[in-house]
Chain A
C-alpha cells in the first residue's frame, strides 16, 4: 500500500505535472501569430542532436552532449578556480575580525554584480574569450563558498577551540585539525551553491564570447532563427544543472554526518 502511494507521489504526479506543462506549451504554440515551435516540431528538429549526442558534423553543428561536455569542462575550470580562491578567502574572513572589517564591504558590493557585467571586464583584462569566461565564472560563483566558509568558521563551537587552547595546538595545527574539519559541512554547502551559480553563468559567458558549448549553441541557433533548438538547449541546461546539484548534495550529505 505504502509502496503504491510512493509510486504515485514520485512517478505518476511528476509525470502529470510534466504533461500539463507540455499541454500549455502546445496550446501556446498553436496560438495565431506566435513563433513558439510546438513540442512535436521541437522534437523533430532536435531528434538528430539527441539521438547522436556526440556527433561532430561541423564546428557549429554538434551533438547536444558534445556541446554540454565543452560547457562542463569550462565550468569545471572556472569552478575549481572559484573554490581555490574562495575557500582560503572565507577562512581568512572567518578567522580575522580585522580582515572582515577591511574586506567585507567590498565583497558585499561585488557579490550582486551580474556575470554580464563581469564578462566585458574579463575581455579587457585577458583579451581572449576563454580566460575571460573563466574569470567571469570564478568571480561570480566564488561568493557562496566565501561566505559559507566564513560563517562556518565563526560558528565553530567554543568547545573545540577550548580543546585547541588546552592542548596548546599551534596556529597551523588548530587550523588543520580543528577549524577546517569543523567548517567542512558549511564549506560543502558553499561548494554546492557555487556550482549552481557557475552553471548559471556559463550560458551567459558562452553567449557573449562565442566559446563553443551549450550556451554558445543556443545563441547561434537564435541568430539562425532555429527556435526549436533554443528549447532543446534550455531543457539540456536544466537537466544538467539538476544532476550537478544532486551529485553535490550527495557529496555534501557525506560530510554532514560528522
Chain B
C-alpha cells in the first residue's frame, strides 16, 4: 500500500440548490519520499484537491489515507503552503514560525521550540528577516516564511498549493531552486500543485495532469527521469525534458480544446470611476464631495468560455 492514497475520491460544491461537480474519480498513490507535481488549468479544482489531502475538506465519496490511516481533518501530519502565504500579519517571521512549532511540539522545552523555529528560518535563508513582519517582506520572502512554517512542524507530507504563482519570474526561479535543495535535504513526501509545466519537470519525480474542470479528473502520470540535481539551463536542451513537456502539454491541451471556444462578448465595465478624496487639492470646486462618477462604458473583448 502506498504512503498517501486517494481512492475514488469525488467532490462537488453545493450552493443555492445547484451542485457543481469539481473532482471525480480521483485515484492517486504516492510513495514515501516522492515528489509529485499535479499540473492543471486554473479553476480545475487543484486547490480543492490539496484541501482534500490536507484534511481541510472531506470528500463526498472515496477516501484519503496517509500511511493506511484515513484523513478526517487537518493534522500536523501534513504541512500546507498556501498560494497566498497565509501569514498572520501582526506576527514577525519568527513568531509566525514559532506559533506552529509551539502548537505541534507541546511537550518540548521553550529552548527546544526556539531552536526548531530558528533552524527552519535558517533553512529558508531568512535569518536576517527574523524580526520583520510580513508587510515588510517581499512576496518571495513571505512565501519562504510560509515554507519554513510548514517544514518546522516536521510534517510527514508537504503540500504546496501553487506556492510560486504569485511571484515574479526571477524570484520564482530562485525559490524553485530552493525548494529542490530543501527537498534534497529533508527528503519529505511532497505534493506540488502548479500551473507551470516547466516548474513541475524541474522539481518533481512524477507529473500528473489534471483535466480541465469542472468535473476534473487526473490524467496518466508522466515520470520525469531527468537526473538530479537538475540544472535549469541544461535541462532546457535535454531531449527527455522536451519529450516529457510535450507529453503533458498534449494531454492538457487535448483535454482543454475539446470543450472550449472563443466568443466575442460585450463586457460591462464597473460603472464607477475612482474619486480622489485627498485633501488640499488646488481647484476649489473639486473640494466638494460628490458621489462616485458613472463611466457608462462598454468594451468588446474576445474571451474563451467553457461550453
Do A and B interact?
yes
Q: Give chain A's interface residues, CB within 8 Å of chain B.
A: 5-6, 9, 159-160, 162-163, 165-169, 173, 177-178, 181-182, 184, 257-258
**Bound state CA distance, A181 and B133, in angstroms?**
14
Q: Supply 16 further A-B pairs (C-beta < 8 A) apart from A6-B280, A168-B103.
A: A159-B84, A159-B86, A160-B86, A162-B82, A163-B87, A165-B74, A166-B56, A167-B100, A167-B104, A167-B153, A168-B75, A168-B76, A178-B88, A257-B135, A258-B89, A258-B133
Contacts of B280 in A (CB 8 A): 5-6, 9
- Give 15 CB contacts A-B under 8 Å: A9-B280, A160-B86, A162-B82, A162-B86, A167-B76, A167-B103, A167-B104, A167-B153, A168-B103, A173-B103, A178-B88, A181-B88, A181-B90, A182-B90, A184-B90
Using CB atoms, name the residue of chain A closest to B85: A159
Q: Is the interface of A mostly helix, strand, loop or mixed?
A: helix
**Bound state CA distance, A257 and B134, in angstroms?**
12
**Bound state CA distance, A181 and B103, in angstroms?**
18
Contacts of B79 in A (CB 8 A): 166
In which size bucket is the chain B interface?
20 to 34
Looking at the assembled complex, report how far the CB atom of A220 sits from the nearest CB atom of chain B, in whole angstroms.
Answer: 40
* A160, A167, A184 pick with most chain B CB within 10 angstroms: A167
**Bound state CA distance, A166 and B82, in angstroms?**
11
Using CB atoms, name the residue of chain A closest to B279: A9
Contacts of A162 in B (CB 8 A): 56, 82, 86
Pick from B54, B76, B86, B104: contact of A163, CB below 8 A: B86
Judging by beta carbons under 8 Å apart, are A165 and B86 in contact?
Answer: no
Judging by beta carbons under 8 Å apart, are A168 and B89 in contact?
Answer: no
**Bound state CA distance, A162 and B133, in angstroms?**
19
Judging by beta carbons under 8 Å apart, are A169 and B103 in contact?
Answer: yes
Looking at the assembled complex, report how far the CB atom of B117 sits from the nearest CB atom of chain A, in whole angstroms.
Answer: 13
Q: Is B80 an interface residue (CB 8 A)?
A: yes
Using CB atoms, name the residue of chain B closest to A6: B280
Q: Is B115 an interface residue (CB 8 A)?
A: no
Judging by beta carbons under 8 Å apart, are A163 and B56 in contact?
Answer: no
**Bound state CA distance, A184 and B280, in angstroms?**
30
Q: Is B166 an interface residue (CB 8 A)?
A: no
Interface string of B119-138 (1 = CB under 8 A from A): 00000000000000101000
Q: Is B253 an interface residue (CB 8 A)?
A: no
**Bound state CA distance, A46 and B75, in angstroms?**
71
Contacts of B69 in A (CB 8 A): none
Contacts of A182 in B (CB 8 A): 88, 90
Using CB atoms, name the residue of chain A closest to B78: A166
Pick from B74, B87, B89, B90: contact of A166, CB below 8 A: B74
Using CB atoms, name the residue of chain B closest to A158: B86
